[in-house]
Amino acid sequence: MPTAVRTADFPSNIRPAARAAVSVVLLGLLSSSGLIVSAGPPSPKWLFLTIIVLYTALSVARLIWPRYDQLVLSDRELILRDRRGREQVCRLRGRPFLSPLFLGLPLVRSSGKPVNVGLFASQLDHRAWRQALIRLRA
């Protein structure tokens, strides 16, 4: 007699989002150049330019080196593995943001702490991306 076993898909490795990082760098360069050529006193310009450069660098770093390395989507939960091999079991909190290019997941860890995970389509393999969209849309 078969026993009830929790079914899980294969683990999908999370890759760096290189295209998104290039887009962020281009937007940072455009906003920096717009700020430089704008009229106004130079001291606030340098402050805002520093903020733009730091924010762009932090955003690019998060896209190139994602917080999680692996994702496993099972029937009722999502398992995230970080670079050190630690697993976090999460469940969906509210409605996810689904689009053909980006997936935004509001999650709750098993400890009760909320966490948000955003993934671009290029970060997962094609099969895992399709499975995630199909399962989360239902």
Q: Which residues is 89 bridged to in the sheet?
A: 79
Q: Mind listing the pLDDT tens digit for each residue in 8-43? A: 556 788 999 999 999 999 999 999 999 889 878 888
Residue 4 pLDDT > 70, yes or no? no
Q: How far is CA 6 from CA 74, 100, 120, 138, in A?
A: 8, 28, 27, 19
pTM of the model: 0.77
Classified as helix, coil or strand, 28 is helix
Q: Where are the domains of the chain?
A: 15-64, 68-137
